[in-house]
Amino acid sequence: MPRLARTIAISALAGLAPLSLAQTEQLSPATEPHIIEQDHKAERPLVQMAILLDTSGSMDGLIEQAKTQLWAIVNELATSRREGQPPILEVSLYEYGKQSISLQENQLRQILPLTSDLDAVSQELFKLRTNGGEEYCGAVIEAASKGLTWSEDRNVLKMIVIAGNEPFTQGGVDYRQAVPYAISKGVIVNTIHCGDRQTGISTGWADGARLGDGEYSFIDQNAEVVVIEAPQDEELIKLSARINSTYIAFGEEATLGLRRQLEADTSAGAASPQRAAQRATAKSSGLYRNSKWDLVDAFKEGEVKLEELAEMDAEDLPEEMKDLKPEDRVAYVQEKQTEREAIQNQIQELSKARDAFVAAERAKGVEGETLESALLRAIRTQAKRVGLLFEE
């Protein structure tokens, strides 16, 4: 059991006071205290996705799309189910084509291994900077195929998504060898060419997707993405901030987890109210998991047992729990979980209304293809292969 350490209070970081029980009761009808479930009867499906982004000098628009559209992609995937269970999402990030990375390393690097920490993914996307180099598609596909811990379960959706604009044939690693290797591990390869359709076909991007049993898409990475602000955005942003007060940070990753959560909130808010609202929706879904540093999620997922908490020394508890009796510790965690679920329910109801409003607005005009739309189409198509079905 890792040592619990509340090094920075969530209320101080967020500028918010924790919700009182009375405030929680205003969010939803009064219920009996929530009993934390630790007996998982059905196994949740798994989705593993490696995103390989060209960060050469001409790709600023692609990076902008990637970092601002993350939460929309998460929200779409959160609507899928297999036998009633939502998926667990693991994401890996690679960049390639950057001059500041050695040619001996094929000017590519793994930014993140496969992780379910979506705040970490957001943080790293916002750190990305472009710097002209050589774009070796075959090499980065090979690196992701060999360098990640892909599940061996054939019922897991495993996919690589590579986006860029230079010929797919560049570099010493032939994509016609790298892509079949990925397929041999059950990993689908999707390609997104940043340019026109025919150029992507003539430079190998379409062939890469064909060999990878995936989807070929082409986008204008520099096109201005349509931002649709909805009447629900303001309230969703407020609820996104309030839900942070239900997190009980513990362990070695407490400080880092809290910082990443707040950074992701800030980054989404700086992008637009639309992205901040999408971020709020993501935080209400089962894909937003923080059991490595949040005691509520850790209990919910069975990574920390109830009896362990009752038996712990007070000095090993977060600051706000140190003076609690053993029998009151569980009640405190349950109260926070109840508060969180009440806020999540409100977010989900508002999100449904927001989605209807945005759909109606989009129907009034035609939007161009973006990284988001290309990736969502691939996910929807390929999820069916492993029995994941989406709500219509």
In this structure, the answer to whether residues 198 and 244 fall within a common structural domain is no
Q: What is the mean pLDDT of residues 192-210?
A: 96
Residues 135 and 95 reside in one and the same domain: yes
Stronger pLDDT, 260 or 251, i.e. the higher one: 260
Instruction: Kindly state whether residue 190 falls inside one of the protein's structural domains.
Output: yes
Residue 41 lies in a domain: no
Checking if the pLDDT of 315 tops 50, the result is yes
113 and 174 co-located in one domain:
yes
d(CA 239, CA 237): 5
Would you say residue 39 lies in a domain? no
| Higher-confidence position of 33 and 87 | 87
Judge whether residue 40 has pLDDT over 50: no
| Domain identity same for 337 and 383 | no
Does any domain span residue 2? no
Q: Are residues 182 and 326 in the same domain?
A: no
Residue 171 sits in the same domain as residue 250: no
Is 276 within a domain? yes
Task: Give the largest Cα separation in the chain, rounded.
Answer: 69
Predicted pLDDT at 22: 37
- Find the radius of gyration of the CA atoms of the chain: 22
pLDDT at residue 392, as a whole number: 66
Say what percent of the chain tops pLDDT 70: 88
211 and 108 assigned to the same domain? yes
Going by the DSSP 8-state scheme, the letter that residue 249 receives in this structure is B
What 3-state DSSP class applies to 8? Answer: coil
53 within 8 A of 124, measured Cβ to Cβ:
no
Taking 70 as the threshold, does the pLDDT of residue 35 lie above it? Answer: no
CATH number of domain containing 222: 3.40.50.410
Determine if the pTM surpasses 0.85: no
DSSP H helical segments within the chain, as ranges?
A: 10-14, 21-27, 60-78, 118-127, 137-147, 175-184, 197-202, 205-211, 233-243, 254-271, 273-283, 295-300, 306-311, 326-362, 371-383
240 and 214 share a domain? no
Instruction: Calculate mean pLDDT across residues 233-255.
Output: 94
Residues 326 and 292 grouped into a single domain:
yes
Instruction: Give me the residue label for tokens 């920075």.
Output: 8
The residue to which tokens 């009980």 are assigned? 248
Look at residue 277 and tell me if it is in a domain: yes
Most confident of 10-14, 59-63, 249-253: 59-63
Residues 119 and 53 placed together within one structural domain of the fold: yes
Rounded Cα distance between 121 and 187, Å, is 20
Tokens of 14: 């967020």
In a domain, 69, yes or no: yes
E strand intervals along 1-117? 46-54, 80-81, 88-96, 108-115
**Under 8 Å between Cβ of 261 and 247:** yes
Stretch 170-183: mean pLDDT, rounded? 97
Pick from 21, 30, 156: which is nearest to 88 by CA? 156
Residue 235 sits in the same domain as residue 309: yes
Q: Do the domain assignments include residue 40?
A: no
Please report which confidence band the pLDDT of residue 137 belongs to, taking 50, 70 and 90 as the band edges.
very high
Q: List phi, psi (to 5°) of 345.
A: -65, -40
Q: Which residues pair with 113 in a beta bridge?
A: none
Structural tokens at position 64:
């902008």
Question: Which range marks the domain in which residue 294 is found?
Answer: 10-32+229-362
As a whole number of angstroms, the distance between CA 318 and CA 306 comes to 16
80-352-40 Cα angle (round to 5)? 40
- State how many domains the chain has: 2
Residue 8 CA to residue 12 CA, distance in Å, equals 7
Mean pLDDT, residues 231-250 taken together: 96
- Structure-model confidence comparison of residues 39 and 347, the more confident one: 347
Same-domain status, 358 and 374? no
Residue-wise pLDDT tens digits, 138-169: 999 999 999 999 999 999 999 999 999 999 99
